[in-house]
Structure 1
Amino acid sequence: MLDDFMVRATLAGVGVACAAAPLGSFVVWRRMAYFGDATSHAAILGVALALALNLSVFAGALAIALIMALTVTALSGRGYAMDTVLGVLAHSALAFGLVAVSFLSGVRIDLMAYLFGDILAVSKTDLAVIWGGAALVVACIGMRWSALLMSTLNEDLAYSAGIDPKREQMFLTVALAVTVAVAIKVVGVLLIAAMLIVPAAAARPLARTPEGMAIIAAALGALAAVVGLRAAYVFDTPAGPSIVCVAAVIFIGTSLFGRRLAIR
């Protein structure tokens, strides 16, 4: 069954949606949208280093995404506004990554595939990595759900319950780095943040509970992946951007009519 490239592409898209949905919910609740951009843009530097050192692209993207996430966490509260820190790091990392790619000699690289994704070229190995990473992210967030939710809603309440909000913030940054590394093959570094934010934002008007929002976001993200791939096949458009376009249309629809359809 997995010999069909469309089946592999669909499974890859659904896997990324499952990983991004619960994490994207926290990104929306914590207003961390630009944080996702910074981490994803850094991944292109990881791709360049991985190719230069003959390592796995997943390993390189994960390592640099982790370094970026930890750097942002360390620099927060050092006198700069968070959006300023994220802006500097996001664009600097992307620029350094693109420059590093230009120095690679003897290595053929399809830069557009890493920037915008190449889901149709997903292999069985890529599929195993995507679903393995997605399972890890979902399992870890599930185990830390109560602590993450409490530290998101009220830090003082979290401290009184013996929960360290900074530790939970660090946990989210690591989970975000794993998701970025998993998703880079599917939608590329420039569109990863969209898959984190758009399905979660679309699910918000439909949900009555935080758990419901995460589940609905996963369903909407999977729907966007399936419909976007079908649209790309029919209209001969880029697959990654097509998936994000469908997610954006879903967001518009739930924003306009979501309150009437809200799941109670």
Structure 2
Amino acid sequence: MTIAIMITAKITRGRAMLDDFLTRAALAGLGVALAAGPLGCFVVWRRMAYFGEATSHAAILGVALALAFSVNIFVGTLVVALLMALTVSALAGRGLAMDTTLGVLAHAALAFGLVGVSFLQGVRVDLTAYLFGDILAVSRSDLGFIWGGALAVLALLAWRWSALLTSTLNEELAHASGIDTGRERMVLTLALALVVAVAIKVVGALLIVAMLIIPAAAARGPSRTPEGMAVLAVVVGAVSALGGLWASLSYDTPAGPSIVAVSALIFAGMLVLPRRS
């Protein structure tokens, strides 16, 4: 009887631990979807995919610096991602070919980050977790950073929504309305850096842009208004996160790529739906 009670207690504790980490993983995925959905709409509207890629690749350099100086990974990632975004914005006004500039910066930052990690002494680093995400290892403190960053992005976009939308659709109209388009670009730059910082734990540096672009692209066809597209992008991102997590647990596939794969399948499904008139 005593042995049976001990076995039952161990099984109960095991189930509780399983439920706990699954709950954290699901909440992390939902937090990223909440932030990436509306921001991804602006990335799609403004054709900022390369800009987002350069910022997200810089996250690996942020990870290396954070580990080297023993600071929080989220802080290091946010600072470097923001610096990269500001650098790209500054270079945009110097007449350089932006696709070439972004390609150089994106891959240089990724390379320097990977090289920097190799110089760290006495620190075990699972690069796969930072490149492709490790949502199943999200801790409670990670959840706090993810949801704090997601809510900050959402509040920032809600506050500047009208101005951002006007400057995105028609810069001349924005200038005529007294809107500082440079300031609105800076708002998007800050929001993008925040999303990169909160999403690296979930989908990794190489797949962050996919979570920005694919849900927004999937939501574009059926949506009749920009606000509707933003809401639908959040829904697609949330379904992708939960569906990818289920697929990862069911078929023993990597979680981050599974989330993006589900998102891509939803996008493919949206293509067969009638487009808005």
TM-score range, shorter chain: over 0.9
Secondary structure, aligned partner of 1:4: helix
Matched-pair identity in %: 68
Residue in 2 that maps onto 1:161: 177
The 8 Å contact of residues 61 and 116 in structure 2, kept in 1 or not, is answered as: yes
Match of 2:217 among 201, 204, 210: 201
How many pairs align?
Answer: 261
Tell me by how many angstroms 1:79 deviates. Answer: 2.3
Aligned amino acid, residue 213 of structure 1: M
Alignment of 1:1-264 (within 5 A): 4-259=20-275
| TM-score when normalising by structure 2 | 0.92
Aligned amino acid, residue 254 of structure 1: M
The 8 Å contact of residues 221 and 270 in structure 2, kept in 1 or not, is answered as: yes
Tell me by how many angstroms 1:258 deviates. Answer: 4.7
| TM-score when normalising by structure 1 | 0.97
Tell me by how many angstroms 1:257 deviates. Answer: 1.5
Q: Structure 1, residues 124-152: CA drift from partner, whole Å, max 9, x if none?
A: 00011101100000011001000000000
Could you list the structure 1 runs, at least 4 aligned residues long, displaced by more than 2 angstroms after superposition: none
The 8 Å contact of residues 156 and 187 in structure 2, kept in 1 or not, is answered as: no
Structure 1 gap ranges (5+): none
Structure 2 gap ranges (5+): 1-15
Aligned amino acid, residue 97 of structure 1: G
Aligned amino acid, residue 272 of structure 2: L
Residue in 1 that maps onto 2:4: none
Q: CA RMSD in A?
A: 1.2
Partners in 2 of 1:220 and 1:185 — Cα distance? 19
Q: Structure 1, residues 222-250: CA drift from partner, whole Å, max 9, x if none?
A: 00000110011100000000000000000
Q: Structure 1, residues 189-243: CA drift from partner, whole Å, max 9, x if none?
A: 0000000000000000010000000000000000000011001110000000000
Tell me by how many angstroms 1:82 deviates. Answer: 1.3
